[in-house]
């Protein structure tokens, strides 16, 4: 999840003449062009997303805590999103400077595993507090969250009570969402639609389309527009209100609870086969499940920590909506269907 310091910027859906392959290639080239140089002197290089590595994200505290234990130097390299992380790895292959990639999620892990670039983590996962069983030998979770539509209670007094109600009410609230080709929340919403509507997902997208204010490239742009009152609802996370309560002492924002349940996102890290320091890389992954790391997550990444008892969460998390039942596709299902479902989404929104 992205911390809630945002730079609002509207972005419309790209023209249909721009193919997925063209946009992916351009995204990779731009990422390579603007990414910060990697310090070769670092003992451990970690690719992650920008907001994790930023000064307001968990990165600096995580870096300081681990370096104090290992007496080593780690370098956090920030890229735009989980999709950008995976694209970067595909370009660099076994020649990547990264030891660890932190910031993929379970909607990308099958595709990442298929690259053959990751090695088994070999770490005991008995301490995990995820809402699902975890058996992945390549990727280790560090946090999780649930997608939700967030609204301002002073602007919207009666939010929809289900995803079907949001979609089918032609007089319902307008929304801002993210692009599933460039945004992990956008992809999460796509999968949420498939879970709830099944083969009727295209029809559901067509029903919602007139009330989509815009589709942004990423979460920060969408949330920034929402905070500027450009729509009464925005795709975000059930944990977003906790940020406003803790960081701003502001209780105006809430997540709408949907009867069908909410889609689960699990964020993960993995170590590369090509790592020059596999022992230290594995030690960092083990540290991710340590209480020191896990207690940093709730109030910096604004997600649920993957290995921390509920009793150790900030009290504001106790007031968040119940996201049950959990909506979730395994990563192989996502990998097999992602392109077709994105094409379905594009066609539905273009009508």
- Is residue 274 within 8 A of residue 97, CB to CB? The reply is no
- Is residue 176 within 8 A of residue 234, CB to CB? The reply is yes
Q: Give pLDDT, residue 84.
A: 83
Q: How confident is the model at residue 133 (pLDDT cuts 50, 70, 90)?
A: very high
- Does 186 have pLDDT greater than 70? yes
Cα dist. 318→6, 16, 23, 310 in Å?
Answer: 25, 44, 41, 8
- Does 128 have pLDDT greater than 60? yes
Write the burial class of residue 122 (CB in 10 Å: 0-12 exposed, 13-18 middle, 19+ buried). Answer: exposed
Collect all residues with Cβ–Cβ distance below 8 Å to 265 and sequence separation of at least 6: 105, 106, 107, 144, 145, 146, 147, 184, 185, 188
- Does 25 have pLDDT greater than 50? no
- Does 19 have pLDDT greater than 80? no
Q: What DSSP string runs through 235-257? A: EEETTHHHHHHHHH----EEEPP
Tell the CATH topology of 20-144+266-312. Answer: D-Maltodextrin-Binding Protein; domain 2 (3.40.190)
CA distance 275 to 109: 19
CATH number attached to the domain at 145-263+322-350 = 3.40.190.10
Q: Give pLDDT, residue 81.
A: 79
Inter-axis angle of helices 184-197 and 331-350, nearest 10: 90
- Residues paired with residue 144 on neighbouring β-strands, in sequence order: 266, 304
List the single range of 32-41, 180-189, 240-249, 303-312 with lowest mean pLDDT.
32-41
What's the mean per-residue pLDDT of the chain?
89
Q: Give pLDDT, residue 14.
A: 31
Q: How confident is the model at residue 271 (pLDDT cuts 50, 70, 90)?
A: very high
Q: Which residue has the higher pLDDT, 329 or 219?
A: 329
pTM: 0.86
Domain with CATH 3.40.190.10 in the chain: 20-144+266-312, 145-263+322-350
- Does 184 have pLDDT greater than 70? yes
CA distance 128 to 95: 32
- Does 311 have pLDDT greater than 60? yes
Query: Residue 116, by phi and psi: left (phi above 0), alpha (psi -120 to 50) or beta?
Result: left
List the single range of 12-16, 80-84, 311-315 with lowest mean pLDDT.
12-16
């Amino acid at each position: 999840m992205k911390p809630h310091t945002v730079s609002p910027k509207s972005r419309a859906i790209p023209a249909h003449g721009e193919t997925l392959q063209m946009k992916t290639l351009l995204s990779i080239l731009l990422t390579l062009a603007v990414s910060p140089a990697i310090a070769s002197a670092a003992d451990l290089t970690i690719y992650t997303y920008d907001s994790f590595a930023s000064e307001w994200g968990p990165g600096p505290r995580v870096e300081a805590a681990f370096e104090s234990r290992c007496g080593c130097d780690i370098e956090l390299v920030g890229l735009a999103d989980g999709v950008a992380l995976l694209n970067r790895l595909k370009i660099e292959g076994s020649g990547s400077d990264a030891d660890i990639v932190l910031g993929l999620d379970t909607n990308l892990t099958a595709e990442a595993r298929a690259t053959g670039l990751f090695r088994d983590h070999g770490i005991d996962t008995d301490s995990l507090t995820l809402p699902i069983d975890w058996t992945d030998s390549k990727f280790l979770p560090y946090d999780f969250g649930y997608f939700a539509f967030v609204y301002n209670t002073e602007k919207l007094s009666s939010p929809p009570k289900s995803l079907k109600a949001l979609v089918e009410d032609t007089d319902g609230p307008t929304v801002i969402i993210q692009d599933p080709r460039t945004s992990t929340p956008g992809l999460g919403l796509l999968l949420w639609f498939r879970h709830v509507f099944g083969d009727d997902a295209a029809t559901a997208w067509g029903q919602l389309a007139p009330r989509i204010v815009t589709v942004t490239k990423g979460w920060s742009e969408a949330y920034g527009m929402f905070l500027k009152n450009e729509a009464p609802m925005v795709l975000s996370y059930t944990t977003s209100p906790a940020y406003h309560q803790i960081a701003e002492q502001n209780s105006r924002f809430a997540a709408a609870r949907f009867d069908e349940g909410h889609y689960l996102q699990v964020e993960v890290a993995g170590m590369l086969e090509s790592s020059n320091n596999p022992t230290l890389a594995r030690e960092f992954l083990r540290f991710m499940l340590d209480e020191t790391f896990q207690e940093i997550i709730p109030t910096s990444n604004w997600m649920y920590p993957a290995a921390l008892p509920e009793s150790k969460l900030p009290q504001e998390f106790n007031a968040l909506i119940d996201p049950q039942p959990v909506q979730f596709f395994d990563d192989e299902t996502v990998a097999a269907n992602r392109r077709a479902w994105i094409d379905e989404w594009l066609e539905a929104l273009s009508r």
